[in-house]
Structure 1
Amino acid sequence: MKIITKYLLAKYVKYFLIILLSLELFFVGIDFLQYFSRLPNSANLQLLYIMYNVFFTLTITLPLSLVFGWIVTLTFLIKDNALVSFYSLGVSKREILLPILLITTFFTLVLIGLQSTPLAYSYEQKDKIIKNKYFIDEQKNIFLKYNEYFVYFKKLYPLEKKAEDIHIFKIHNQDVVEIIVGKKAFYQNSKWYVLDTKIIKKPENINWVDSKLDVSYEKFLYTLEGFEPQIISNVYKGKAQYSVIDAIRTILLLDTQESNTNKIKAILYSQIVTPFFVLPLIVIILIFTSPSSRFFNSAFFITISIFSTLTVWGIVFLLQKLALGSVVLAEIAIILPVVLFFILAYVLYYKKII
């Protein structure tokens, strides 16, 4: 690694971390003071609330900090005449941009990786702490369709992966042909194991002479393969929070049911596509930056850069909300603008630099 590259990365990472820490302290601190009176007296729950809030705000502050860190880095490089010195030594803008884009991509992938974990549900968890429902993992009266079945759970415990009083109705040609009733059910090995089951089957050919219901009892049976408790919970509540993995599984499941998955796709795309809007923004900021301190107005540069960053982020956020509300297709509202932004950055880079 070149000395100039090490110098650039050290400066950029330092300013990025300072800004990230500052934004986190600001947002988390304001939120904690706002809801302090509603938090439980337990110090453990208060610490958990802060931890969940830190990650929840991280999804906003990290992308912004990556851009703000680059703005501050450029400001100091220009004021110290370091940037113009790099150009004088034959360092190209490509050699300056490449390590910054790589480290930015790394931090973005870390954020996406974190959103593939249970931390993706941080907003829901901190909300449960405020409402004193953190230790309550119970949902009642859930009724959903899965393949040829309609399933009713009187009580569902998603985290414990169990349910009570389950009724499964098998449908064939718009007619109920079988009913499975169980007192308890557990989800293991990608299947639901229903205990103490009562199975009621309707005869295929009904007549007045010998038609009767076939009733049998089993100690346990397995059914509803792949119908995960967390997915059931998310779909039933119409949640706006999914981890990346749960979102992918839910989309695959609902596609087989021919259900509308636009909202869940919007959540998934906002997690894995939206954070990358910072990459073309970093390129564009460098393109329109004067390397000479003589013609450089730092106050004007910082103001315009931050304003442009927040404007772009606001537009991306607005389109994301439109996709979540199923007003616009997720692919059009989220993926297309980011792709067009990349194309714009490439065109400007090609015209201004290459």
Structure 2
Amino acid sequence: MKLYSRYIGYVYIKYVFIVFIALSLFYTGVDFLTNLDEIPKSANLAFLYAGFTAISAIQYVLPLTLIFAMILTFFNMIKNNELISFYALGISKFSVIKAPFIISLIITLFYIYLNTTPFAYANEYKGNLENFNAIGRISNGMFLKHDNKYLYIEALNVTEKAASNIRLFYIKDGKIEKSTSAKRATYDDEKWTFYDENATILPLEFKLGGKGLKFESRDKFIDLDGFNPEAIEKIYKSSNVYSINDAIEAIKIFKNQGINVDGIKANLYTLIFGPLFAPFMMLILFYRLPPTARFFNLAILSFIFFVSTVCVWGILYVMQRFAFSAVIPPEIGVILPVILLMLYSLKSIFSYR
């Protein structure tokens, strides 16, 4: 890597850390002040609450941090006449922005990877601490459909991947073929294992002298392959909080169940494509930077850049909310704006070559 690239990259990373810490502390502090009465009284839980608040802030703070750090980096270089010096040495615009762009892209891709882990549920854990003084909680009284089965779950513990007092109804040709109950069940990332079964098998045809009811009991049986407890709770609670893996699995499970999965798709696209807004917005703003401060008021110009960033981010956020509520298709609300930003950034690169 060229010496000037290492220098620009170092300055950019320094501002990324400064801005990220400042915005995260600001977000966490405001959240503490606005929710002071709901914060757990226990010191350990309050510390966990602060940690989850800071983590949940990353989805809002990180894109702005990457762009704000670029603005601060290059406006400082313009003020010190460093940027014009690079251009005078024959260094192209793209060569100057390349290091910050690559750094921001790596950080963004790492953040997208984190959204495949339980990291994505930080805001939900925070809400559980706020409302229930516990990270996980139990969902009660759930009635769902899966393939040709209907099931009622009295209590579902998503954290432990376990359920209790479950009742399954098997349907054939619009009639109940079998009704079975189990005291408890556990999920092993592939299938559910039910314990202490008591089943009632009903005849499909009710006629005099025909077969009657049949009763069965088993210690355990396996059913509901791939019916992830996370997906069960999210669909039942109409929640838009998913990790990337759980969102993909939920779409696979529910796409043939007559359930609208547009909200899950919107969440999935937001986790994958939404963060890419920052690197492309960086390119667009950089190519509109003046090389010198002689003919511009840097204070006003930097203010315009900051406001423009927040406005574009706000528009994207609103479109994502519309996609979550199925007002517009998720492909239009989430993917299309990012593609347009990417195309416009590429146009900027080729226009200033």
Coarse TM-score class (shorter-chain normalised): over 0.9
**What is the CA–CA distance in structure 2 between the aligned matches of 1:264 and 1:104, rounded to whole Å?**
27
Give the equivalent residue in structure 1 for 2:36. 36
Q: Which runs of 5+ in 2 are unaligned?
A: none
Give the equivalent residue in structure 2 for 1:231. 231
Question: SS at the partner of 2:37?
Answer: helix
Question: SS at the partner of 1:36?
Answer: coil
How high is the TM-score relative to the length of structure 1? 0.96
Question: SS at the partner of 1:327?
Answer: coil
Give the equivalent residue in structure 2 for 1:320. 320
Alignment of 1:242 with 2:242, yes or no, is: yes
8 Å contact 2:45–2:133 — kept in the other structure?
no
Give the equivalent residue in structure 1 for 2:141. 141
Of residues 289-298 and 6-15 in structure 1, the stretch that sits farther from structure 2 once superposed is 289-298
Question: SS at the partner of 2:313?
Answer: helix
Deviations 1:16-74 (A, max 9, x none): 11111111111101211222333222111011000000011111111001000000011
Q: Pick closer, same or farther for the CA change 1:54–1:198 going to 2, 3 Å.
A: same
**What is the CA–CA distance in structure 2 between the aligned matches of 1:163 and 1:133, rounded to whole Å?**
21
Give the equivalent residue in structure 2 for 1:73. 73
Q: How does 1:74-93 map to 2 (within 5 A)?
A: 74-93=74-93
**What is the CA–CA distance in structure 2 between the aligned matches of 1:136 and 1:91, rounded to whole Å?**
54
8 Å contact 1:78–1:84 — kept in the other structure?
yes
Q: Pick closer, same or farther for the CA change 1:136–1:119 going to 2, 3 Å.
A: closer
Query: Could you tell me which amino acid in structure 1 is paired with residue 79 of structure 2?
Result: K
Q: How does 1:331-350 map to 2 (within 5 A)?
A: 331-350=331-350
How high is the TM-score relative to the length of structure 2? 0.96
Question: SS at the partner of 1:221?
Answer: strand
**What is the CA–CA distance in structure 2 between the aligned matches of 1:256 and 1:158, rounded to whole Å?**
23
Question: SS at the partner of 1:238?
Answer: coil
Q: Which runs of 5+ in 1 are unaligned?
A: none
Q: How does 1:1-354 map to 2 (within 5 A)?
A: 1-134=1-134, 137-188=137-188, 190-351=190-351, 353-354=352-353
**What is the CA–CA distance in structure 1 between the aligned matches of 2:56 and 2:40, rounded to whole Å?**
20
Quote the sequence identity (%).
Answer: 33
Query: Could you tell me which amino acid in structure 2 is paired with residue 164 of structure 1?
Result: S
Deviations 1:182-217 (A, max 9, x none): 111122252211111112222344421122122111
Query: Could you tell me which amino acid in structure 2 is paired with residue 295 of structure 1?
Result: F
Query: Could you tell me which amino acid in structure 1 is paired with residue 338 of structure 2?
Result: V
Distance apart, 1:136 and its partner CA = 5.7
Q: Pick closer, same or farther for the CA change 1:258–1:38 going to 2, 3 Å.
A: closer
**What is the CA–CA distance in structure 1 between the aligned matches of 2:202 and 2:257, rounded to whole Å?**
24
Question: SS at the partner of 1:257?
Answer: coil
8 Å contact 1:52–1:119 — kept in the other structure?
no
Query: Could you tell me which amino acid in structure 2 is paired with residue 156 of structure 1?
Result: L
Of residues 17-26 and 170-179 in structure 1, the stretch that sits farther from structure 2 once superposed is 170-179
**What is the CA–CA distance in structure 2 between the aligned matches of 1:113 and 1:131, rounded to whole Å?**
29
Deviations 1:295-353 (A, max 9, x none): 232112211101110110010011001001110000011101110111122223322x1
Deviations 1:80-117 (A, max 9, x none): 11111111111111111222211111111122122222
8 Å contact 2:142–2:236 — kept in the other structure?
yes
8 Å contact 1:263–1:324 — kept in the other structure?
yes
8 Å contact 1:322–1:333 — kept in the other structure?
yes
| Structure 1 residue runs of 4 or more that deviate by more than 3 Å after TM superposition | none
Query: Could you tell me which amino acid in structure 2 is paired with residue 106 of structure 1?
Result: I
Kindly tell me the number of residue pairs found equivalent between the two proteins: 353
Query: Could you tell me which amino acid in structure 2 is paired with residue 219 of structure 1?
Result: D
Query: Could you tell me which amino acid in structure 2 is paired with residue 317 of structure 1?
Result: Y
